[in-house]
């Protein structure tokens, strides 16, 4: 990607963000937070996440 294309893309992204109402930006931010994967899965992959979940589940019972 050329520098000019990158500047054009960034400008369009910023303008698109600035044109959104404040409530819309807050709603989108909340949706992203809710759909974000958990810390264990993002940092360590699926296997440690499964082990952590099992240990946590067994402690409850």
Q: Are 17 and 25 in contact (CB under 8 A)?
A: yes
Domain map of the chain by residue range? 3-60
Q: Spell out the residues 6+ positions from residue 40 whose beta carbon is closer than 8 angstroms to its own.
A: 48, 49, 52
Question: pTM for the whole thing?
Answer: 0.45
Higher pLDDT, 41 or 56: 56
pLDDT in tens, 8-51: 999 999 999 999 999 999 999 999 888 877 776 777 778 887 88
Q: What is the pLDDT of residue 61?
A: 63
Q: What is the pLDDT of residue 11?
A: 95
């Amino acid at each position: 990607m050329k520098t000019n294309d990158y500047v054009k893309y960034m400008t369009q992204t910023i303008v698109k963000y600035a044109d959104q109402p404040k409530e819309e930006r807050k709603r989108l931010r909340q949706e992203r937070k809710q759909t974000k994967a958990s810390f264990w899965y993002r940092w360590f992959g699926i296997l440690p996440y499964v082990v952590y979940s099992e240990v946590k589940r067994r402690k409850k019972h």
